[in-house]
Amino acid sequence: MASEPSNHEETEVAVEKRQTPRTETHLEAEVCGKHGTHPAVIHELSRTGALMTVIDAAFDLGPDATDYGLVGMRVAFHFDDGMQIRIPSHDFQINCDVVRIGDRKPRDDRGISLGCNFKRPLTRREMHSLGLEVDLPELEQGSMPLPHVQLSRAGIHALLTTVVQHGASDLHIQGGSPVRMRVDGRLEVLDENPLPADEAEDLVRALLTEEQFARFDASGDLDIGYSLPGQARFRVNVLRARGAFGMAIRRIPEYVPTMEQLGLSPLCAQLSELPRGLVLVTGPTGSGKSTTLASMVQHINTTRACHIVTMEDPIEYIHSEVMSHITQREIGRDTKDFKSALKRALRQDPDVLLVGEMRDLETIRLAVTAAETGHLVFATLHTPSAALSISRIVDVFPPEQQRQIRMQVADSLQAVISQMLLPRLGGGVAAAQEILVATAPVRALIREGKIPQIGNVMQTGAQEGMQVLEDVLNDLIARGSIDYDTAVGKATYPRLIERRGKRLRATGTGL
């Protein structure tokens, strides 16, 4: 028996397994669909999927292997509700989804090669019971080869299910490029082989309705929301790049997480209870702004009776009404753009307004005016810090209007929450929130145009609920949530993290 590997050897073994997560085998099996049971042979197996030959003349590809279209329709029809694989010799069965037609030569030139994703990963005991000595990691990534021939809607659903099962945040599909998904902030390749352009187009067409595809075909870009019932919602951006179809798909949990589950500052609940004013949630793309806003809207929904109007591009979280009446409007489907949606919303008797993104001068002007006139307005900006968010609003306006907008923002602003998501030690992500509260000194600095000095006020504003990014990062290090290098890379002032990091190293805590 081989000796136990050292820590260094364990790392190399883990890398090797991640690169070759499947094992070849020869298992006689049966596959069951909604129209019968067929013999099959499993050729490759992993914890999350299998590659097999299904032996049935109905699935023959023809003498020149050219009948992919017809056979693909038969496969989709037969297994669109899923497939059950049975291995009688091992008293084993598992449910799965067909995700592709493979190119392996079927035995005796009969039947077809299919790739399948299991509904759940195999346990180690199941792997060993099947006679497999491969000891794969607990969460193996990319163990199934992805499409090479033709995918139906069942195929795109299988990919989305894989995203959910692996806790990934994003899926990237692009013709001519390998399919990737983002796990804990890092992109991982699902299949080294580039996805052919025609298959990328098939995936896009499978996901979109005819009306949505017509809109995409006319503009070259489209944002939609998509639901996988019982699992998750997704925000989908459909695009063309170098003439090929592609999609960037972000996973949105089907249920709105609470502020406690997200680890948000208690101040977020207090801001949600305000009767009026402007609350900004800012940060780069992928920083969780939509999720933070959804949890704040849900807090309102469960604590008071009011009318909430949201303007989103696209709608991500679906809110179930509890105490509040909620009107969710999607840009491009329910209304033309944020500017016109916000203008109409002011005539819809709202108490709370959510503006998915303040993209232009007129939208910003309307949002600030709505906050001034007695509404609670939530909005987002793509800015990296709280103080810069205010500068961004002011700088959008021409010089002769900037004094006026500073006065309006100073009077209406309640807080700015600037956040980012960081890879958490042990897996997952941690939220880091910098918070600016519009106290009297902050309002005065905004009116006087001394916005760069706001950072000094934030340093001493802890009693009002303010948080400076570096203090939050230091706290995350001390709690063992993130590592020192991650904090330094994200800090506005890395030296503050470095000093804290040295102290933590010296005491042996937090790192």
240 in Cβ contact with 220 (< 8 Å): yes
Q: Cβ contacts of residue 186 below 8 Å, gap of 6+?
A: 423
Domain co-membership, 164 together with 283: no
Which of 168, 167, 171 has its CA nearest to residue 180? 171
Distance CA 368, CA 278 (A): 7
Q: Rounded to 10 degrees, what is the CA torsion of 138, 139, 141, 145? A: 70
Q: What percentage of the chain exceeds 70 in pLDDT?
A: 83
Using the 3D structure, point to which of 217, 252, 287 is the last residue of a domain.
Answer: 252
420 in Cβ contact with 316 (< 8 Å): no
Model pTM? 0.64
Say what the pLDDT of residue 22 is.
54
Q: Tokens 């919303």 label which residue?
A: 345
Top-confidence residue, 365 or 91: 365
Residue 427 pLDDT class (50, 70, 90 cuts): confident
pLDDT single digits (tens) 189-244: 887 889 889 888 988 988 898 889 999 999 999 999 888 877 788 999 999 999 99
Which of 399, 350, 394, 346 has its CA nearest to residue 369? 346
Please give the single-letter amino acid code of residue 336: K
Top-confidence residue, 82 or 7: 82
Say what the pLDDT of residue 23 is.
67
Top-confidence residue, 104 or 298: 298
pLDDT above 90 (res 159): no
Domain co-membership, 95 together with 241: no
| 91 Rama sector, left if φ>0, alpha if ψ -120 to 50, beta otherwise | left
Q: Is residue 95 within a helix (H) or strand (E), and if so which, with residue range?
A: strand 92-101
Say what the pLDDT of residue 468 is.
95
Instruction: Look up residue 451 and give its DSSP letter.
Output: G
What value, to the nearest 5°, has the Cα angle with vertex 353 and ends 348 and 358? 120
Could you tell me if residue 339 is inside a domain? yes
162 in Cβ contact with 69 (< 8 Å): no
111 in Cβ contact with 59 (< 8 Å): yes
Top-confidence residue, 327 or 199: 327
Burial (0-12, 13-18, 19+ Cβ within 10 Å), 358:
buried
pLDDT above 70 (res 510): no
Could you tell me if residue 145 is inside a domain? no
Top-confidence residue, 61 or 406: 406
Domain co-membership, 96 together with 207: no
Domain co-membership, 163 together with 308: no
Q: Tokens 């992919």 label which residue?
A: 68
Kindly provide the residue ranges of all beta strands, DSSP E only, lying in 179-220, ordered along the sequence.
180-183, 186-189
Going 481 to 484 to 489 to 492, the CA torsion angle's sign is positive
pLDDT above 90 (res 304): yes
Domain co-membership, 88 together with 227: no
Alpha carbon distance, N-terminus to C-terminus of the chain: 36
Distance CA 82, CA 268 (A): 43
Say what the pLDDT of residue 115 is.
83
Residue 499 pLDDT class (50, 70, 90 cuts): low
Host domain of residue 433: 259-467
Q: Cβ contacts of residue 398 below 8 Å, gap of 6+?
A: none
Kindly write down the DSSP assignment for every residue of 224-254, as one continuous string. Answer: EEEEETTTEEEEEEEEEETTEEEEEEEEEES
Say what the pLDDT of residue 467 is.
95
* Number of domain units in the chain: 3
Going 175 to 179 to 182 to 188, the CA torsion angle's sign is negative
Say what the pLDDT of residue 71 is.
66
- CATH number of the domain bearing residue 236: 3.30.450.90
45, two tokens: 């197996």
Strand, helix or coil at 462? helix
372, two tokens: 């001034």
Residue 348 pLDDT class (50, 70, 90 cuts): very high
Using the 3D structure, point to which of 235, 252, 269 is the last residue of a domain.
Answer: 252
Over residues 356-372, mean pLDDT: 95
309 in Cβ contact with 335 (< 8 Å): no
Q: What percentage of the chain exceeds 90 in pLDDT?
A: 51
Domain co-membership, 346 together with 436: yes
Distance CA 449, CA 439 (A): 16
Domain co-membership, 238 together with 286: no
Domain co-membership, 381 together with 335: yes
Say what the pLDDT of residue 78 is.
76
Least confident of 13-17, 112-116, 188-192, 426-430: 13-17
Cα separation values, 303 from 81, 208, 420, 441, Å: 41, 37, 27, 31
Instruction: Look up residue 108 and give its DSSP letter.
Output: G
Which of 239, 247, 245 has its CA nearest to residue 171? 247
- CATH number of the domain bearing residue 87: 2.40.10.220
Could you tell me if residue 311 is inside a domain? yes
pLDDT above 70 (res 109): no
Distance CA 98, CA 115 (A): 6
Could you tell me if residue 12 is inside a domain? no
285, two tokens: 């793309």
pLDDT above 90 (res 107): no
Domain co-membership, 288 together with 436: yes
Which of 346, 235, 211, 347 has its CA nearest to residue 286? 235
pLDDT above 90 (res 345): yes
Q: Cβ contacts of residue 140 below 8 Å, gap of 6+?
A: 17, 18, 21, 46, 47, 48, 121
pLDDT above 60 (res 502): no
Domain co-membership, 434 together with 327: yes
- CATH number of the domain bearing residue 272: 3.40.50.300
Instruction: Look up residue 59 and give its DSSP letter.
Output: G
Residue 371 pLDDT class (50, 70, 90 cuts): very high
Say what the pLDDT of residue 491 is.
92
pLDDT single digits (tens) 24-54: 778 899 999 877 888 988 888 887 888 888 8
Using the 3D structure, point to which of 201, 223, 252 is the last residue of a domain.
Answer: 252
Average pLDDT value over all residues in the chain: 83
Over residues 98-110, mean pLDDT: 62
Could you tell me if residue 307 is inside a domain? yes
Tabulate helix, strand, coil % of the chain (nearest 5): 40, 30, 35
Could you tell me if residue 457 is inside a domain? yes
Q: Cβ contacts of residue 486 below 8 Å, gap of 6+?
A: 422, 423
Domain co-membership, 247 together with 291: no
Domain co-membership, 265 together with 304: yes
Starting at the earlier edge strand, list the strands of the sheet with 325-330: 325-330, 307-312, 352-355, 376-381, 277-282, 413-423, 429-437
Could you tell me if residue 492 is inside a domain? no
Strand, helix or coil at 39? strand
Which of 330, 311, 148, 147 has its CA nearest to residue 236? 330
Say what the pLDDT of residue 389 is.
95
How many CA atoms are closer than 13 Å to the CA of 213, on its beta-carbon side?
Answer: 11
Say what the pLDDT of residue 409 is.
98
Could you tell me if residue 504 is inside a domain? no
Residue 21 pLDDT class (50, 70, 90 cuts): very low
378 in Cβ contact with 342 (< 8 Å): no
Residue 120 pLDDT class (50, 70, 90 cuts): confident
Distance CA 20, CA 25 (A): 14
Top-confidence residue, 109 or 415: 415
Burial (0-12, 13-18, 19+ Cβ within 10 Å), 150:
buried
